């Protein structure tokens, strides 16, 4: 690029009124916990969401229940206080490839001590730019297959982190949506090949195997632009009866409102991989329970541990969420056997 875009807005990790209260109380405390005051550390983070997205705002204010908020709270518990002994720098990659490249370069120019990424695309972009800055991916579905790490147990290099699902999830999503809608003849699979693991194949193999065993036709619905969402979903409103599956895909998370609106308009049952979609009005989701564990690794790296020496960790629990109000709006009666297995039923 010939012209450098203006720096993205920096969102403070701790509200300044909180900082005033925290600074005095913790300036001595962080020393006792082992954090060293020799210099100000820099923790960088990338998000695929716009900085004004509801999920981004919540991530910075609801410490107990969000990934970024949990990171800040976890670091504070370990003696790292934003503005006292480290700075938190958040950049949004929303806006296409050029914005992603610019956001990554902005963080690297700050010479961060560690960068936390939130998607496979972001991790790949940071790794393409640096092999020395430590990277912790908060979520990645295929870190070995993507070449991020040598193995889960021994990552090597400058990256480690947390996986969020396995290839078998494709078959599991089909089992669950078919249990919710037993008479479907086909299932549409919504995804963006550019932003989902292995262009979708990571999940499609197990999904297609399950479909063959259950007599359901798989119809792929790849999209690349937000303007394609409604058309891709409307295809499944005509006979034969269909349901849909949303793959793990940061593009779909960013455009979750448009997806939910289209499924409501065309009365299409869809299962999603994240609870974000249920909160936006989706029918059901099945995916890993959100566990904010990145503070453990960021803390260790700030204290000198090499990222490549920390094993990649996998989810410890998965959860099924069902919105019964949405089911009623779609004319569905969710079987009691499925409701009984749900971790949460929303009305």
* pLDDT for position 15: 35
* pLDDT for position 164: 83
- Residue 60 lies inside a defined structural domain of this protein: yes
Query: Which residues of the chain register pLDDT less than 50?
Result: 1-35
- Residue 1 lies inside a defined structural domain of this protein: no
- Residue 4 lies inside a defined structural domain of this protein: no
Q: What CATH number does residue 104 fall under?
A: 3.40.50.2300
Residues in Cβ contact with 268 at an 8 Å cutoff, skipping those fewer than 6 apart? 188, 233, 236, 237, 242, 243, 244, 262, 330
Distance CA 273, CA 288 (A): 8
- Residue 327 lies inside a defined structural domain of this protein: yes
- Residue 204 lies inside a defined structural domain of this protein: yes
Q: Are residues 255 and 303 in the same domain?
A: no
Domains identified in the chain, total number: 2
**List of E strands, 86-173:** 86-92, 114-117, 135-140, 159-163
Q: Are residues 27 and 123 in the same domain?
A: yes
Q: Are residues 198 and 103 in the same domain?
A: no
Helix-strand-coil split of the chain, %, nearest 5: 40, 20, 40
Q: Are residues 249 and 277 in the same domain?
A: yes
Q: Are residues 238 and 327 in the same domain?
A: yes
- Residue 3 lies inside a defined structural domain of this protein: no
* Coil, helix or strand at residue 75: helix
Distance CA 318, CA 164 (A): 10
Q: Are residues 55 and 87 in the same domain?
A: yes
* pLDDT for position 63: 56
Give the torsion sign (CA, 152, 194, 119, 221): negative
Give exposure, 225-262, as e/b (b: 16+ Cβ within 10 Å): eeeebbebbeebeeeeebbbbbbbbbbbbbbbebbbeb
* pLDDT for position 280: 93
* pLDDT for position 230: 98
Q: Which residue is associated with the tokens 């904010």?
A: 292
Q: Are residues 111 and 137 in the same domain?
A: yes
Q: Are residues 224 and 299 in the same domain?
A: no
Q: Are residues 44 and 152 in the same domain?
A: yes
Q: Are residues 154 and 42 in the same domain?
A: yes
* pLDDT for position 58: 75
Q: Vertex 61, ends 58 and 66: CA angle to 5°?
A: 55
Tell me which residue range forms the domain holding 121.
Answer: 16-164+290-309
Which tokens go with 246? 């949303």
Distance CA 264, CA 244 (A): 12
Q: Is residue 165 within 8 Å of residue 289, measured between CB atoms?
A: no
* pLDDT for position 325: 96
* pLDDT for position 17: 34
Q: Give the Cβ contact number of residue 305 at 10 Å.
A: 14
Q: Are residues 215 and 341 in the same domain?
A: yes
Which tokens go with 236? 């499944």
* pLDDT for position 77: 93
Q: Are residues 142 and 221 in the same domain?
A: no
- Residue 10 lies inside a defined structural domain of this protein: no
CA distances from residue 144 to 39, 49, 77, 162, 164 in whole angstroms, order as listed: 34, 25, 31, 12, 13
* pLDDT for position 59: 72
Residues in Cβ contact with 24 at an 8 Å cutoff, skipping those fewer than 6 apart? none
* pLDDT for position 33: 45
- Residue 74 lies inside a defined structural domain of this protein: yes
């Amino acid at each position: 690029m010939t012209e450098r875009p203006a720096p993205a807005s920096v969102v403070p990790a701790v509200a300044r009124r909180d900082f005033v209260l925290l600074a005095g109380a913790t300036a001595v405390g962080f020393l006792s916990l082992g954090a060293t005051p020799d210099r100000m550390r820099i923790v960088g983070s990338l998000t695929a969401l716009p900085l004004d997205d509801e999920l981004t705002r919540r991530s910075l204010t609801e410490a107990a229940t969000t990934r970024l908020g949990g990171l800040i709270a976890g670091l504070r518990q370990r003696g790292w206080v934003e503005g006292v002994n480290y700075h938190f720098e958040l950049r949004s990659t929303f806006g296409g490839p050029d914005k992603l490249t610019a956001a990554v370069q902005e963080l690297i120019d700050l010479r961060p001590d560690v960068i936390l990424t939130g998607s496979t695309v972001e991790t790949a972009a940071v790794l393409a730019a640096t092999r020395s800055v430590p990277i912790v991916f908060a979520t990645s579905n295929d870190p070995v297959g993507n070449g991020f790490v040598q193995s889960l147990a021994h990552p090597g290099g400058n990256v480690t982190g947390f996986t969020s699902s396995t290839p078998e999830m494709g078959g599991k999503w089909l089992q669950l949506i078919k249990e919710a809608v037993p008479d479907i003849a086909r299932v549409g699979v919504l995804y963006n090949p550019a932003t989902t693991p292995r262009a979708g194949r990571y999940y499609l193999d197990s999904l297609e195997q399950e479909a063959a065993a259950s007599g359901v036709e798989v119809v792929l619905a790849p999209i690349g632009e937000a303007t394609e969402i409604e058309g891709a979903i409307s295809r499944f409103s005509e006979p034969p009866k269909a349901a849909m599956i949303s793959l793990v895909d940061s593009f779909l998370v960013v455009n979750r409102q448009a997806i939910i609106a289209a499924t409501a308009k065309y009365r299409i049952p869809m299962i999603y991989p994240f609870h974000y979609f249920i909160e936006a009005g989706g029918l059901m989701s099945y995916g890993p329970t959100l566990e904010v564990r990145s503070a453990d690794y960021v803390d260790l790296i700030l204290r000198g541990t090499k990222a490549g020496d920390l094993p990649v960790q996998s989810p410890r629990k998965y959860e099924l969420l069902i919105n019964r109000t949405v089911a009623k709006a779609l004319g569905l009666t969710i079987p009691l056997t499925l409701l009984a297995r749900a971790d949460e039923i929303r009305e």
